[in-house]
Amino acid sequence: MSNEKLADVRLVAFDVDGVLTDGRICISDEGVESKTFHTQDGYGMRRLLEADIVVAVISGRTSAAVAKRMSELGIAHVVQGCEDKVAALDQIIARLNISRAQCVYVGDDIPDLPLLKHVGFAVAVANAVPALHAQCDHSTSAAGGSGAVREVCELVLGARSQTSR
């Protein structure tokens, strides 16, 4: 997919563990789970929203930390505990009346592969399992939880600004 097609992107969706975070799950002795999010990734997601690009989060796990952070960022499309990520994305794009070709998805592991093959532009974070890199249109230089999301946001926004010149 060329920069011209990236300029037509209407939705960018992200996995959580390994993409928005470094993939580690911290559980206290009391059983409380915590996650660490990169503030620069959050700013990138807000910039997408300001550019009228929908942001979605689709995760196989459920976490209160994810719900809280996405709420803080104003992310309306958050699907957690998802067994079928393709169906989840299809529901979102049907509500928004956009096509798969106008979607970017960012993943890091084998459960993301069906959705990565389903969208118009597939991205693997730098620390993704090797099998994903070969299947994606782009691989970030930054690892998940360490600026990869911001890198994708800048890529999409940059493609849009290049075509609007």
Per-residue pLDDT of the chain (165 residues; tens, 9 = 90+): 456 678 899 999 999 999 999 999 888 899 888 899 999 999 999 999 999 999 999 999 999 999 999 999 999 999 999 999 999 999 999 999 999 999 999 999 999 999 999 999 999 999 999 999 999 999 999 999 999 999 999 999 998 877 655
pTM of the model: 0.93
Segment 107-122, tens digit of pLDDT: 999 999 999 999 999 9
Question: What pLDDT is stored for residue 124 in this prediction?
Answer: 97
CATH numbers and ranges of domains, the chain: 3-159 (3.40.50.1000)
State phi, psi for 124 to the nearest 5 degrees: -105, 135
Instruction: Return the beta strands (E) in the chain as ranges.
Output: 11-14, 26-27, 33-34, 54-58, 77-79, 103-107, 121-124, 138-139
Q: Is 141 helix (H, G, I), strand (E, B) or coil?
A: coil
Structure tokens at 49: 């929203």
Name the strands in the sheet holding 138-139, side by side, starting at the edge strand that comes first in the sequence: 77-79, 54-58, 11-14, 103-107, 121-124, 138-139
